[in-house]
Amino acid sequence: MNFLNQIFYNYNKFDSYEDFKSINKYMLCLENIPIFRTSFNFIDYNVIIQSNENSQQSLILPTYSHNISINPIINPPTIAVIQENNCIKQMPKKSNKQFSPIQENKLFWCIYIIVYGYDNFLLIHQKYGNKELEEKQMMIEFIKTNASKWKNTNYKVSKILIQEMMSECLINKQSGFLSCITMSVFYNKIIIIVNQCKNSYLYFSPAKDMGETTNYENIVVIYYKKNELSHNKNKYSNENITYSIDLHTIQPNDCIGKITEIYTNMYCLENYEKPLKGVSTYKIKELVNIANKLNMFQKESEIVLLKKQELYDKIYSYCLW
Protein backbone atom coordinates (compact mmCIF):
# COMPACT_ATOMS: atom_id res chain seq x y z
CA MET A 1 0.00 0.00 0.00
CA ASN A 2 2.91 2.29 0.79
CA PHE A 3 4.22 1.87 -2.77
CA LEU A 4 0.84 2.46 -4.41
CA ASN A 5 0.47 5.77 -2.59
CA GLN A 6 4.08 6.94 -2.77
CA ILE A 7 4.27 6.79 -6.57
CA PHE A 8 1.98 9.79 -6.93
CA TYR A 9 4.37 12.13 -5.11
CA ASN A 10 7.81 13.57 -5.83
CA TYR A 11 8.78 13.04 -2.19
CA ASN A 12 8.04 10.41 0.47
CA LYS A 13 4.53 11.55 1.34
CA PHE A 14 3.73 8.59 3.58
CA ASP A 15 6.77 8.07 5.77
CA SER A 16 5.09 7.28 9.07
CA TYR A 17 2.07 5.49 10.50
CA GLU A 18 0.54 8.83 11.44
CA ASP A 19 0.49 9.83 7.76
CA PHE A 20 -1.61 6.80 6.95
CA LYS A 21 -3.97 7.44 9.85
CA SER A 22 -4.71 10.88 8.41
CA ILE A 23 -6.41 9.31 5.36
CA ASN A 24 -8.23 6.60 7.32
CA LYS A 25 -11.57 8.41 7.05
CA TYR A 26 -11.50 7.91 3.27
CA MET A 27 -10.93 4.15 3.45
CA LEU A 28 -13.64 1.53 2.96
CA CYS A 29 -13.13 -0.22 6.30
CA LEU A 30 -15.64 -1.70 8.77
CA GLU A 31 -15.84 1.38 10.96
CA ASN A 32 -16.64 3.59 7.94
CA ILE A 33 -19.34 1.34 6.40
CA PRO A 34 -22.25 3.02 8.25
CA ILE A 35 -21.09 6.40 6.92
CA PHE A 36 -20.92 5.17 3.31
CA ARG A 37 -24.22 3.33 3.75
CA THR A 38 -25.99 6.53 4.80
CA SER A 39 -24.34 8.66 2.12
CA PHE A 40 -24.86 6.36 -0.89
CA ASN A 41 -27.98 4.28 0.08
CA PHE A 42 -26.35 0.92 -0.58
CA ILE A 43 -28.93 -1.86 -0.85
CA ASP A 44 -26.85 -4.99 -0.34
CA TYR A 45 -23.82 -5.84 1.76
CA ASN A 46 -22.78 -9.36 0.82
CA VAL A 47 -19.52 -9.70 -1.09
CA ILE A 48 -17.61 -12.91 -1.72
CA ILE A 49 -13.84 -12.52 -1.81
CA GLN A 50 -11.88 -15.32 -3.50
CA SER A 51 -8.39 -16.10 -2.22
CA ASN A 52 -5.54 -17.73 -4.14
CA GLU A 53 -6.50 -21.16 -2.81
CA ASN A 54 -10.00 -20.74 -4.31
CA SER A 55 -11.44 -20.71 -0.81
CA GLN A 56 -14.21 -18.20 -0.13
CA GLN A 57 -14.65 -15.78 2.74
CA SER A 58 -17.74 -13.65 3.33
CA LEU A 59 -17.26 -10.03 4.28
CA ILE A 60 -19.98 -7.47 4.93
CA LEU A 61 -19.35 -4.64 2.48
CA PRO A 62 -21.72 -2.29 0.65
CA THR A 63 -22.50 -3.29 -2.94
CA TYR A 64 -25.19 -2.72 -5.52
CA SER A 65 -25.88 -6.35 -6.34
CA HIS A 66 -25.78 -9.86 -4.88
CA ASN A 67 -22.73 -12.13 -4.75
CA ILE A 68 -20.23 -9.98 -6.56
CA SER A 69 -17.00 -11.93 -7.09
CA ILE A 70 -13.86 -9.91 -6.41
CA ASN A 71 -10.51 -11.32 -7.50
CA PRO A 72 -7.69 -9.56 -5.65
CA ILE A 73 -4.78 -8.53 -7.90
CA ILE A 74 -1.63 -10.30 -6.83
CA ASN A 75 1.63 -8.59 -7.79
CA PRO A 76 0.14 -5.97 -10.16
CA PRO A 77 2.38 -4.73 -12.99
CA THR A 78 4.68 -1.96 -11.86
CA ILE A 79 3.75 1.37 -13.39
CA ALA A 80 4.99 4.51 -11.67
CA VAL A 81 3.05 7.71 -12.18
CA ILE A 82 5.01 10.77 -11.09
CA GLN A 83 3.71 14.33 -11.08
CA GLU A 84 6.20 16.98 -12.18
CA ASN A 85 5.21 20.62 -12.72
CA ASN A 86 1.52 19.64 -12.92
CA CYS A 87 2.31 17.08 -15.64
CA ILE A 88 1.79 13.37 -15.16
CA LYS A 89 4.73 11.26 -16.34
CA GLN A 90 4.60 7.48 -16.55
CA MET A 91 7.77 5.50 -16.08
CA PRO A 92 8.52 2.69 -18.58
CA LYS A 93 6.67 -0.58 -18.05
CA LYS A 94 8.50 -3.87 -17.86
CA SER A 95 8.77 -5.23 -21.37
CA ASN A 96 10.88 -7.44 -23.58
CA LYS A 97 12.87 -4.45 -24.79
CA GLN A 98 16.12 -3.35 -23.18
CA PHE A 99 15.70 -0.61 -20.59
CA SER A 100 18.26 2.17 -20.10
CA PRO A 101 17.86 4.41 -17.02
CA ILE A 102 17.47 8.13 -17.70
CA GLN A 103 19.92 8.90 -14.88
CA GLU A 104 23.39 10.11 -15.90
CA ASN A 105 25.25 7.20 -14.27
CA LYS A 106 23.58 4.49 -16.34
CA LEU A 107 25.98 1.65 -15.51
CA PHE A 108 25.56 2.17 -11.76
CA TRP A 109 21.77 2.23 -11.97
CA CYS A 110 21.57 -0.81 -14.26
CA ILE A 111 23.45 -2.84 -11.67
CA TYR A 112 21.39 -1.31 -8.85
CA ILE A 113 18.11 -2.34 -10.50
CA ILE A 114 19.23 -5.96 -10.93
CA VAL A 115 20.57 -6.18 -7.36
CA TYR A 116 17.69 -4.46 -5.55
CA GLY A 117 14.83 -4.83 -8.04
CA TYR A 118 12.98 -2.51 -10.40
CA ASP A 119 10.26 -1.71 -7.84
CA ASN A 120 12.80 -0.46 -5.29
CA PHE A 121 14.41 1.63 -8.01
CA LEU A 122 11.07 3.37 -8.69
CA LEU A 123 10.51 4.02 -4.98
CA ILE A 124 13.58 6.27 -4.85
CA HIS A 125 11.62 8.94 -6.77
CA GLN A 126 13.58 12.17 -7.14
CA LYS A 127 16.29 11.26 -4.62
CA TYR A 128 18.49 9.34 -7.05
CA GLY A 129 21.52 11.54 -6.40
CA ASN A 130 21.28 11.02 -2.64
CA LYS A 131 20.81 7.29 -3.04
CA GLU A 132 23.77 6.96 -5.39
CA LEU A 133 26.00 8.90 -2.99
CA GLU A 134 24.82 6.78 -0.07
CA GLU A 135 25.56 3.57 -1.96
CA LYS A 136 28.99 4.78 -3.07
CA GLN A 137 29.92 5.79 0.48
CA MET A 138 29.16 2.23 1.59
CA MET A 139 31.35 0.94 -1.25
CA ILE A 140 34.26 3.13 -0.19
CA GLU A 141 33.97 1.95 3.40
CA PHE A 142 33.82 -1.63 2.13
CA ILE A 143 36.98 -1.11 0.05
CA LYS A 144 38.85 0.25 3.07
CA THR A 145 37.85 -2.54 5.45
CA ASN A 146 38.01 -5.57 3.11
CA ALA A 147 41.44 -5.34 1.49
CA SER A 148 41.87 -9.13 1.40
CA LYS A 149 38.81 -9.65 -0.81
CA TRP A 150 40.40 -7.88 -3.76
CA LYS A 151 43.01 -10.63 -4.07
CA ASN A 152 40.27 -13.10 -5.04
CA THR A 153 38.87 -11.27 -8.07
CA ASN A 154 39.62 -12.29 -11.66
CA TYR A 155 41.47 -8.95 -12.05
CA LYS A 156 44.84 -8.12 -10.53
CA VAL A 157 44.05 -5.43 -7.97
CA SER A 158 47.07 -3.53 -6.66
CA LYS A 159 47.12 -0.92 -3.88
CA ILE A 160 47.29 1.79 -6.54
CA LEU A 161 44.23 0.35 -8.30
CA ILE A 162 42.34 0.28 -4.98
CA GLN A 163 43.01 4.01 -4.61
CA GLU A 164 41.75 4.56 -8.16
CA MET A 165 38.59 2.59 -7.36
CA MET A 166 37.86 4.82 -4.37
CA SER A 167 38.59 7.94 -6.41
CA GLU A 168 36.17 6.84 -9.13
CA CYS A 169 33.45 6.31 -6.51
CA LEU A 170 34.03 9.76 -5.03
CA ILE A 171 34.73 11.91 -8.08
CA ASN A 172 33.36 10.45 -11.32
CA LYS A 173 29.75 11.21 -12.20
CA GLN A 174 29.64 8.12 -14.42
CA SER A 175 30.91 4.69 -13.47
CA GLY A 176 33.29 2.87 -15.80
CA PHE A 177 34.68 -0.63 -16.06
CA LEU A 178 36.85 -0.06 -12.97
CA SER A 179 33.66 0.36 -10.94
CA CYS A 180 32.52 -3.06 -12.16
CA ILE A 181 35.36 -4.61 -10.15
CA THR A 182 34.22 -2.63 -7.09
CA MET A 183 30.53 -3.49 -7.46
CA SER A 184 31.23 -7.13 -8.30
CA VAL A 185 32.95 -7.64 -4.94
CA PHE A 186 30.66 -5.29 -2.99
CA TYR A 187 27.45 -7.01 -4.16
CA ASN A 188 29.14 -10.44 -4.49
CA LYS A 189 27.86 -10.73 -8.05
CA ILE A 190 29.36 -11.73 -11.37
CA ILE A 191 28.96 -8.77 -13.73
CA ILE A 192 28.85 -9.47 -17.47
CA ILE A 193 29.07 -6.48 -19.83
CA VAL A 194 27.85 -7.53 -23.28
CA ASN A 195 28.77 -5.78 -26.53
CA GLN A 196 26.24 -7.18 -29.00
CA CYS A 197 27.72 -5.24 -31.93
CA LYS A 198 31.08 -7.02 -31.53
CA ASN A 199 29.70 -10.32 -30.20
CA SER A 200 31.93 -10.20 -27.13
CA TYR A 201 31.67 -9.61 -23.40
CA LEU A 202 33.65 -8.57 -20.34
CA TYR A 203 33.54 -10.73 -17.23
CA PHE A 204 33.96 -9.39 -13.68
CA SER A 205 33.94 -11.95 -10.88
CA PRO A 206 34.37 -11.50 -7.09
CA ALA A 207 36.18 -14.87 -6.97
CA LYS A 208 38.52 -16.49 -9.50
CA ASP A 209 37.13 -19.99 -8.95
CA MET A 210 33.55 -19.03 -9.88
CA GLY A 211 34.27 -19.41 -13.62
CA GLU A 212 31.23 -19.50 -15.89
CA THR A 213 28.93 -20.30 -12.99
CA THR A 214 25.42 -21.65 -13.49
CA ASN A 215 24.24 -20.01 -10.25
CA TYR A 216 22.19 -17.43 -12.12
CA GLU A 217 21.18 -15.55 -8.95
CA ASN A 218 24.77 -14.28 -8.77
CA ILE A 219 24.94 -12.95 -12.33
CA VAL A 220 24.29 -9.40 -13.54
CA VAL A 221 24.03 -8.89 -17.32
CA ILE A 222 24.47 -5.35 -18.69
CA TYR A 223 24.34 -4.38 -22.38
CA TYR A 224 26.94 -1.95 -23.69
CA LYS A 225 26.46 0.25 -26.74
CA LYS A 226 28.80 2.93 -28.04
CA ASN A 227 27.30 5.98 -29.70
CA GLU A 228 29.36 6.31 -32.85
CA LEU A 229 27.62 9.59 -33.76
CA SER A 230 28.87 11.39 -30.67
CA HIS A 231 31.05 14.45 -31.32
CA ASN A 232 32.80 14.17 -27.95
CA LYS A 233 36.54 14.63 -28.50
CA ASN A 234 37.43 11.94 -25.95
CA LYS A 235 36.41 8.68 -27.63
CA TYR A 236 36.85 6.80 -24.32
CA SER A 237 34.48 9.08 -22.44
CA ASN A 238 31.47 7.40 -20.79
CA GLU A 239 29.31 10.13 -22.33
CA ASN A 240 29.56 8.20 -25.61
CA ILE A 241 28.27 4.99 -24.04
CA THR A 242 24.79 3.68 -23.22
CA TYR A 243 24.16 0.84 -20.77
CA SER A 244 20.90 -1.08 -20.60
CA ILE A 245 19.31 -4.20 -19.11
CA ASP A 246 16.55 -6.68 -19.96
CA LEU A 247 13.83 -6.04 -17.37
CA HIS A 248 12.06 -9.29 -18.21
CA THR A 249 15.19 -11.36 -17.43
CA ILE A 250 16.02 -9.85 -14.04
CA GLN A 251 14.72 -12.93 -12.22
CA PRO A 252 17.24 -15.84 -12.17
CA ASN A 253 14.86 -18.34 -13.78
CA ASP A 254 14.15 -15.95 -16.66
CA CYS A 255 17.78 -15.25 -17.56
CA ILE A 256 19.06 -18.85 -17.88
CA GLY A 257 18.66 -18.98 -21.66
CA LYS A 258 20.18 -15.54 -22.20
CA ILE A 259 23.27 -16.24 -20.08
CA THR A 260 23.81 -19.65 -21.67
CA GLU A 261 23.63 -18.00 -25.09
CA ILE A 262 26.26 -15.43 -24.05
CA TYR A 263 28.65 -18.10 -22.75
CA THR A 264 28.18 -20.25 -25.85
CA ASN A 265 28.08 -17.80 -28.75
CA MET A 266 30.12 -14.81 -27.62
CA TYR A 267 33.83 -14.34 -26.96
CA CYS A 268 34.99 -13.43 -23.45
CA LEU A 269 37.68 -10.73 -23.49
CA GLU A 270 40.68 -11.10 -21.20
CA ASN A 271 40.54 -7.58 -19.82
CA TYR A 272 38.83 -4.26 -20.51
CA GLU A 273 42.26 -2.68 -21.15
CA LYS A 274 43.96 -5.65 -22.81
CA PRO A 275 41.36 -7.83 -24.61
CA LEU A 276 43.80 -10.61 -25.65
CA LYS A 277 46.78 -12.40 -24.15
CA GLY A 278 50.17 -12.11 -25.86
CA VAL A 279 50.41 -13.29 -29.47
CA SER A 280 52.72 -16.18 -28.53
CA THR A 281 49.93 -17.64 -26.36
CA TYR A 282 47.76 -18.51 -29.36
CA LYS A 283 48.09 -20.93 -32.22
CA ILE A 284 46.88 -19.78 -35.62
CA LYS A 285 43.90 -22.13 -35.41
CA GLU A 286 42.85 -20.59 -32.07
CA LEU A 287 42.99 -17.10 -33.57
CA VAL A 288 40.84 -18.24 -36.49
CA ASN A 289 38.27 -19.63 -34.05
CA ILE A 290 38.24 -16.33 -32.12
CA ALA A 291 37.75 -14.34 -35.34
CA ASN A 292 34.87 -16.60 -36.35
CA LYS A 293 33.21 -16.24 -32.94
CA LEU A 294 33.49 -12.46 -33.20
CA ASN A 295 31.94 -12.56 -36.70
CA MET A 296 34.77 -10.36 -37.98
CA PHE A 297 34.99 -11.69 -41.52
CA GLN A 298 32.27 -12.41 -44.04
CA LYS A 299 34.34 -14.96 -45.95
CA GLU A 300 36.75 -17.65 -44.71
CA SER A 301 39.15 -16.74 -47.53
CA GLU A 302 39.77 -13.35 -45.90
CA ILE A 303 41.30 -15.09 -42.86
CA VAL A 304 43.45 -17.55 -44.83
CA LEU A 305 45.36 -14.74 -46.50
CA LEU A 306 46.50 -13.30 -43.16
CA LYS A 307 49.65 -14.25 -41.29
CA LYS A 308 49.45 -15.01 -37.57
CA GLN A 309 50.64 -11.57 -36.40
CA GLU A 310 48.36 -9.77 -38.86
CA LEU A 311 45.34 -11.77 -37.75
CA TYR A 312 46.20 -11.19 -34.08
CA ASP A 313 46.52 -7.43 -34.64
CA LYS A 314 43.16 -7.26 -36.42
CA ILE A 315 41.42 -9.20 -33.64
CA TYR A 316 43.08 -7.10 -30.95
CA SER A 317 42.05 -3.86 -32.61
CA TYR A 318 38.51 -5.13 -33.15
CA CYS A 319 38.12 -6.13 -29.50
CA LEU A 320 38.97 -2.69 -28.17
CA TRP A 321 35.66 -1.15 -27.13
| Residue with more model confidence, 117 or 38 | 117
Taken in order 59, 63, 67, 73, the sign of the CA dihedral is negative
What is the mean predicted confidence (pLDDT) over 110-124?
A: 93
What are the Cα distances from residue 57, in Å, to 31, 36, 69? 19, 22, 11
Q: CA–CA separation, 272 vs 156, rounded Å?
A: 12
Give percent of the chain with pLDDT exceeding 70. 67
With b for 16 or more beta-carbon neighbours within 10 A and e for fewer, the 205-223 pattern comes to bbbeebeeeeebebbbbbb
Contact 47, 63 (CB under 8 A): yes
Q: Looking at 55-69, 91-105, 245-259, which range is the least confident one?
A: 55-69
Residue 78: what pLDDT?
41
Give percent of the chain with pLDDT exceeding 90. 47
Q: What is the pLDDT of residues 230-245, one digit of tens each?
A: 444 454 456 689 999 9
The domain segmentation of the chain, as residue ranges, is: 2-70, 96-268, 279-319
Residue 104: what pLDDT?
92
Residue 221: what pLDDT?
94
Q: CA–CA separation, 254 vs 234, rounded Å?
A: 38
Q: Is 23 helix (H, G, I), strand (E, B) or coil?
A: coil
For the stretch 70-75, contacts whose Cβ atoms lie closer than 8 Å and that sit 24 or more positions apart, written own/partner, are none
Residue 125: what pLDDT?
83
Amino acid at 211: G
What is the separation, in whole angstroms, between the first and last Cα of the chain?
45
Residue 317: what pLDDT?
95
Residue 32: what pLDDT?
76
Residue 58: what pLDDT?
45
Q: CA–CA separation, 94 vs 77, rounded Å?
A: 8
Beta bridge partners of 56: 50
Q: CA–CA separation, 85 vs 128, rounded Å?
A: 18
Kindly report the pTM of this predicted structure: 0.68
CATH of segment(s) 96-268? 3.90.70
Q: What is the pLDDT of residues 250-260, one digit of tens each?
A: 666 667 888 88
pLDDT band per the 50, 70, 90 thresholds, residue 248: confident
Residue 245: what pLDDT?
94
Other C-beta atoms lying within 10 Å of the C-beta of residue 76: 9
Residue 16: what pLDDT?
58
Residue 36: what pLDDT?
62
Q: Looking at 58-67, 78-87, 100-109, 141-150, which range is the least confident one?
A: 78-87
Q: What is the pLDDT of residues 134-153, one digit of tens each?
A: 999 999 999 999 988 888 89
Q: Which helix (H) or strand (E) holds 134?
A: helix 128-145
Q: Would strands 44-50 and 68-70 be described as parallel, antiparallel, or unpaired?
A: parallel
pLDDT at 113 exceeding the cut of 90: yes
